[in-house]
Amino acid sequence: MGTAGGRILVTGGAGFIGSAVCRHLVAGAAERVVNVDKLTYAGNLGSLQMLETQPNYVHYRTDIGDEQAMLEIMRHEKIDAVMHLAAESHVDRSIDGPDVFVETNIVGTVRLLNAALAYRRELRTEARGRFRFHHVSTDEVFGDLPFDGSVFSEDTAYAPSSPYAASKAASDHLVRAWAHTYGLPVVLSNCSNNFGPYQFPEKLIPLTILNALEEKPLPVYGTGANVRDWLHVEDHARALELVIRQGRPGESYNIGARAERSNLAVVEGICDRLDVRRPRGQGRSYRDLITFVPDRPGHDRRYAIDPSKIERELGWRPQVGFEDGMNMTVDWYLANRWWWEPIRHLRYPGMRLGECSRRSA
């Protein structure tokens, strides 16, 4: 698609990673950013309010599963590339109710692929050659790593453990099939755990911060020994732009920051930061609120990504270190109650934020 400009359609652009991508692209060289998000529970236009007056940004409240509507949007907006981030993404939700993960992540991806293929076939030769479909996926498709020096590469065999991971693995395979069978020019990326501002409060880091502020238990699965490789969401957005603009069609790129931390270490680090920034009374530490809860079924021990390929081929490097990124993240949640408080207390369906439940990581 070239190195500058372009009219880019971002699916799931009101979600955590999608909104970071939209903010990054609008601030950069994108000619137009078209956000398609049907606004499920995790979609929040508040994460994009700074873009509402920008002439190179528009939002469509549309389901990616509506194939004809997606085709019409692509035609109307004269799209050069699709960045597909729309997905159900929470492992615990997939365990409790896998059907919606199949419908969104698998069926929705097929319908979006069909729309993209039909649209590309209508384009003139130059525009057809420029078009790209970028499928954004997760390291969880690779399954579980032992506690050793092994890492996921682009050649690691798929071995998903959860319904969520299986649905993303299926969508990855379907994207590759549309490339091989129909000639759709695709690129794929698989990222490690993201963190940063505007993350929905059911995920480990914001849940821990907000539970602590409300003096509620800080749930940690098992012994907290499970390890994840943490990537700041703005670094991820920068990587995704490089992949869509410069990635080689048919290739996949693993995106990680080489920042492995155990879940317990992450939670303890948040407690230590809050002890300084928002001290509890009587000299108590937020660490006293840590509560170990029964592990979830099939909980993968460790994820770790080797990002050598994207570093070597596209020149990407993370710019935000884990410790600095965590400082900025804690500070952001402290300073932006306007964003998370309505979600925390009004919009979350059912219980479970703030309770000592299985929704901790």
Neighbours of 260 (CB within 10 A): 20
The token pair that represents 97 in the structure block? 């109710």
| 109-113 CB contacts, 8 Å cutoff, 24+ apart | 109/64, 109/84, 109/135, 109/171, 109/174, 109/175, 110/174, 111/64, 111/65, 111/66, 111/67, 111/70, 112/11, 112/64, 112/67, 112/70, 112/82, 112/84, 112/86, 113/174, 113/175, 113/178, 113/184
The dihedrals phi and psi of 112, each to the nearest 5 degrees, come to -65, -40
Burial class of residue 225 (count of CB atoms within 10 Å of its CB; 0-12, 13-18, 19+): middle
Instruction: For helices 233-246 and 16-27, give the axis angle rounded to 10 degrees.
Output: 60
The amino acid at residue 68 is: Q
The token pair that represents 216 in the structure block? 């509620």
**Cα distances (angstroms) measured from residue 80 to each of 2, 119, 122, 167, 334:** 10, 10, 12, 27, 39
Q: Rounded distance, CA 63 to CA 43, Å?
A: 12
Kindly state the helix (H) or strand (E) to which residue 168 belongs, with its residue range: helix 163-182
Q: Which residues are catalytic?
A: 139-140, 164
Q: Rounded distance, CA 37 to CA 43, Å?
A: 7
The token pair that represents 68 in the structure block? 């004809």
